[in-house]
Every structure is written in C-alpha cells, then in structure tokens.
C-alpha cells in the first residue's frame, strides 16, 4: 500500500463493523464509532473541504488529542491536502511564526486556542483563509457543520472526494521539529513515507483487531500521529485519556490492552505499584514471585498473569503490551512489567524517518537495546570507532523528502544514499542496535521532549553582563537518566563591581526567571551556575560543552559530599 487512503479503505473493508473509537459523552454514557461510520465522516468532511476549494492546501490542526482532531487530520490527508500538526503548548509568537513559515491557509483548532487563532489571523501576517473550530459553536462554521455540509453535497450527487487521486510521493505532512521558531526545521513527509512505516511496523509487531489502545502521545508528535494510523491498519479500537491523573481509572473503564508512550509513564505506574506493595508490607513477596515466574519462564511455564492478577486488575486486567519510544527506559522497570506479564517493547526513530527505524519484537528482545530494524528499513553504523560506536545511519522508503525551504540542512543529513541521524550508537553481532548518546547538543528529557540549547542561549543575549553562556543537560542526582536543563554563565566582573557572589547569583537567577516566563515549562532553566572565568574552548573558539558539563557534574558531586560531611560532623 502506497498511501494512507489505501490503508484506511483496506481497514474499513476488513474491520468495518469493529469499533474504531469509543467516546465518553459524560454521565456514564459512551458512544462507539465503527470503522465504517468513521470513514463515512472522513468522506463527508473531505467533500466539504474540496467543494470549498481546498485542494493541495496546507491545513493546520492544533489542540488536544481527540476524535475530531484525527477526523480533521484524516480528511486532510485523504483529500490530497497537506497536514500541519502543531503543538498546543506553543506560545503565541511561536504559533504565529509556525503559521507564517508553513504558509498554511486553513486551520482546525480547539477551544483553548481560540484567542491565539483570532489574534494571529487579525495580525494580517498569515495566509489563513478559513478557521474551523473542532468544538461545537453557534456563531462559526465548525467541524460538525462542515461534516453535515459534506453529507448534503454527497447526497446531492457531488463526488469530489471519490475522484481524488493521491500521488504518494508528494509532500503530505509538514512537521515542525521540537526546536520551535527560527531554530526549528520543518520535516516534509510523503504518504509513501508514512504508509511504508505503518505497513512495516504492523509486520514487526503483534497488534490485533481485538486490542483497545489508549491515545497518550500527542498527535502533533510524529510517533503519535503515525501510531494512530497503525492502530487503524490493525483494526484496533482507540480511546482517549481524561488526563494523566486519571490514567489508571481510564485503563479500567475501557479495558485498555495496548498503548504507545514514553518510558516516564510506565515508570511512574511501576513506582506506584512498588510503593503500594511497600505500604502493605508485600515488597518481599513481590520480589520473590518475580524470581519464581522468571525461573518458570525459562522452562516455558508462563504463570505471570495468574500470579500477578491483582496487580494487573488495578489497571483493568487487560493490559498486555506497551510500545515505548522517544527516550531510554529503566531496565529494572521493563523487567518488572515483564514479570507481571506485560510486554514492554522499546523502539527508535525520528520525525525524519516517519518515525520508526527499529523496534524490539515480542519474541526478540534484548535489555538496553532499541531492537532490530523493522521490515523495509536498513540501518548501519557510520565510521565506528575502536569500540564499534559511530553515527547511526538509515535508509528506506520511510526517509523524509527533506527539510522544507532548507536544502542545505537536507544535504547535511542525507547523502550517499543514507540518512544520518545525528545519534551515536553501536550494534551487536545479532544486529540489535544500542543508543549511546547524541551527536549534537540536543537535551532529551525523560518525557521524550527535546530541548535545543542554542534556542535558549539566544534568549540570554539580552543580559548586559553576559560574556558567554551555555545550556546543558545535567543528570539528576536521584536518577541519572533525568536531565536537568542547566545554565552556566560567564559574567563581566566589571558589571558587578562591589557585589558579593551571593548577590550576583541572586541577580542572575532573577533575570533567568524572566526568561523562563517566555519558555514552555519543559524548556525552562532549572539550575544556574555563574563564574567570571572563561570557559574552555577549541582552537576555533567553540566552547567545549562536554568539558564544561563535566565540570558542573564534578562540582555538584563535591558539593553533595561537603553537605554529607557537614551533617556527619553535626551528628
């Protein structure tokens, strides 16, 4: 299958009566949407868009994960328009910049984005011609009105939707990388890119038409966007989370059996299980039974879900598989869930690769690895060192068309027939890949969010006393995989003449808080180190980030040791 429309039509043909979605209406009422009904709504909405003249048009979708969000997305893709999914957490300036840079002409938006959308349109800087709410509203044409309009057009004999011919190699997705505004790139993906990734991922994993998937990864994220199509292709049903604090409740009420997410989520869930066991005096038994099921497993006797029935029932009793990406998972947590009878599979990919490159399989797993390449994808290590570590490179039909309006950046990462990921890693003798670090400076947080240091460093240029500054990720003392966004700033001592180090720190931290107010929460600077000593640099006057990062780590360790010694002396 070469395009998303073919995938959806095949899904409807095979799973037409299956539930595609279950929607919560409130007051204990739910509404099931079959695949056939869902596709008919896509068709109606698509007909309305085409009859309004929107063809080969860039259409922005912004808002929380919802049925209407994905309805708008599929109607866009299946009418040969171009989808531009945006992060609902964008500040207004970033949002407006994204509208301008993408040259979008249509926008579907959630209620919370109403003010920002109106402000952007009234500025006169964008190309937006039409804005449709994803929610019911009386004074505007919303997505419900458009769908009814399309139904009436079809009943009247219009067949624009049915006549659409999709070129699988045209740009169909414009996806912004995490470093928004001027620092971000816009990844261009075709329907062939994404369709190939969907088909090949389905061939690699065991997802069934009886599965219930809970939508957790935001749809503006390529992983969330593509994985929803994967669920369609498998005939699975999708439900929506009421919020992370309700996740356990949602698992139980919907009978969730599978989900795709970041490791932080399952680690939080696992931590709660351990704390509950400790509170009830069952920690020892939990560990013992874990050892027992592992021993029996080696003899091909699987009693995990029976032994840990109580644990699983706290999450509805149906959860069987979790697919993880965007960050590294805690091996102990993975082992713990496996003991309970829940398979946790780690994968690896990027926006530029549509996104999946490699993944573990239920029958092929290796602790610490990100699995083996999925069907149709080639991976290798470029210029490995003496330890076999080098840059991970990949090729296949899933590799992006390029960066929109940035041929230079495209040529820097795609050459000699390979996409160069910028990630460092190695592969073992059996072809399993392992990620060892980032080639560039991006800080990858535990929740999968990427923080681009250069973007924040630009904001620091307003500080009059700044000589130089770097943003780095420093491991949290409690969990070394949890990186803390940290600033090291070299100041001009003349600007602070007569002030104590404590006073200088107070001034810098106060200014940093003002800068933080302009940034999304995950990008905010959490720790600040100041000095008047120049940083170490290369011969080309570039700061040696690794060296300076290690200095901060060493300083933190020394400070922790001093505090412990002081406590010991007091005791």
Asked if domains 4-195 and 262-438 share a fold, the reply is: yes
Three-point CA angle 432, 438, 444, nearest 5°: 100
Q: What does the pLDDT read at residue 539? A: 39
Distance (Å, rounded) from C-alpha 35 to C-alpha 274? 39
Q: Assess contact for 2 and 195: CB atoms under 8 A.
A: yes
Query: Over 80: is that where the pLDDT of 134 sits?
Result: yes
Helix (H, G, I), strand (E, B) or coil at 97: helix
Q: List the structure tokens of 436.
A: 């060892």
Query: Over 70: is that where the pLDDT of 414 sits?
Result: yes
pLDDT tens readout for residues 286-307: 889 999 999 998 899 999 999 9
Architecture label for domain 446-570: 2-Layer Sandwich (3.30)
- Is the CATH number of domain 262-438 3.30.930.10? no
DSSP string, 414-465: EETTEEEEEEEEEE-TTS-EEEEEESS--EE-TTS-EE-HHHHHHHGGG-TT
Query: Over 60: is that where the pLDDT of 540 sits?
Result: no
Distance (Å, rounded) from C-alpha 318 to C-alpha 412? 46
What is the CATH number that goes with domain 4-195?
3.40.50.980
The residue-averaged pLDDT of 259-287 equals 85
In a 13 Å sphere around the CA of 542, the CA atoms on its Cβ side amount to: 6
Query: Over 80: is that where the pLDDT of 460 sits?
Result: yes
Name the band, by pLDDT with cuts 50, 70 and 90, for residue 364: confident
The full set of domain ranges for the chain reads 4-195, 262-438, 446-570
Higher pLDDT, 165 or 181: 165
Sheet arrangement for strand 483-491: 466-475, 483-491, 527-531
Q: List the structure tokens of 326.
A: 């965007």
pLDDT tens readout for residues 35-81: 999 999 999 999 999 999 999 999 999 999 999 999 999 999 999 99
Where is mean pLDDT largest: 52-56, 264-268, 469-473? 52-56
Distance of CA 476 to the CA centre of its chain: 22
């Amino acid at each position: 299958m070469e395009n998303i429309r073919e995938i959806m039509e095949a899904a409807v043909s095979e799973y037409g009566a299956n539930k595609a979605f279950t929607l919560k209406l409130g007051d204990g009422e739910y509404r099931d949407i079959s695949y056939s009904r869902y596709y008919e709504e896509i068709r109606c909405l698509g007909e309305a868009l085409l009859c309004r003249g929107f063809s080969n048009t860039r259409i922005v979708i912004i808002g929380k994960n919802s049925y209407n969000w994905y309805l708008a997305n599929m109607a866009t893709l299946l009418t040969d328009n171009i989808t531009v999914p945006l992060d609902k957490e964008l500040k207004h300036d970033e949002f407006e910049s994204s509208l301008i840079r993408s040259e979008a002409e249509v926008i579907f938006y959630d209620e919370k984005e109403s003010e920002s959308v109106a402000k952007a349109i009234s500025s006169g800087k964008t190309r937006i011609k039409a804005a449709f709410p994803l929610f019911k509203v009386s004074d505007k044409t919303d997505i419900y009105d458009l769908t009814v309009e399309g139904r009436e057009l079809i009943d009247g004999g219009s067949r624009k939707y049915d006549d659409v011919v999709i070129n699988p190699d045209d740009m169909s997705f414009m996806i912004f990388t995490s470093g928004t505004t001027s620092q971000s790139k816009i990844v261009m993906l075709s329907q062939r890119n994404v369709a190939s990734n969907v088909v090949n991922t389905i061939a690699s994993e065991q997802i069934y038409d009886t599965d219930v998937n809970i939508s957790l990864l935001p749809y503006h994220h390529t992983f969330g966007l593509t994985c929803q199509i994967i669920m369609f292709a498998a005939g699975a049903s999708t439900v929506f989370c009421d919020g992370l604090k309700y996740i356990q409740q949602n698992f139980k009420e919907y009978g969730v059996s599978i989900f795709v997410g970041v490791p932080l989520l399952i680690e939080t869930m696992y931590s709660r299980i351990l704390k509950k066991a400790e509170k009830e005096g069952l920690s020892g038994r939990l560990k013992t039974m874990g050892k027992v099921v592992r021993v029996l497993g080696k003899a091909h006797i699987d009693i995990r879900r029976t032994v840990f029935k109580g644990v699983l029932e706290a999450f509805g009793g149906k959860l069987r598989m979790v697919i993880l990406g965007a960050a590294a998972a805690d091996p102990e947590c993975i082992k713990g869930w496996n003991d309970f009878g829940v398979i946790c599979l780690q994968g690896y990919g990027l926006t530029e690769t549509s996104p999946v490159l490699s993944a573990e399989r239920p029958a092929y797993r290796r602790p610490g690895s990100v699995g083996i390449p999925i069907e149709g994808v080639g991976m290798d290590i470029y210029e490995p060192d003496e330890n076999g570590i080098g840059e991970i490179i990949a090729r296949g039909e899933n590799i992006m068309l390029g960066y929109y309006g940035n041929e230079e950046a495209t040529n820097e990462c795609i050459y000699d027939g390979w996409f160069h990921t910028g990630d460092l890693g190695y592969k073992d003798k059996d072809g399993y890949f392992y990620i060892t670090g980032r080639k560039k400076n991006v800080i990858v947080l535990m929740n999968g969010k990427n923080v681009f240091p250069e973007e924040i460093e630009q904001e620091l240029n307003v500080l009059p006393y700044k000589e130089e500054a770097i943003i780095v990720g420093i491991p949290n003392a409690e969990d070394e995989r949890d990186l803390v966004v940290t600033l090291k700033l070299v100041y001009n001592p003349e600007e602070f003449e007569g002030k104590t180090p404590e006073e200088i720190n107070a001034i810098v931290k106060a200014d940093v808080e003002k800068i933080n107010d302009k940034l999304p929460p995950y990008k905010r600077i959490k720790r600040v180190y100041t000095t008047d000593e120049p940083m170490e640099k290369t011969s080309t006057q570039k700061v040696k980030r690794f060296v300076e990062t290690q200095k901060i780590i060493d300083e933190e360790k020394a400070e922790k040791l001093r505090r412990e010694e002081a406590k010991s002396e007091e005791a």
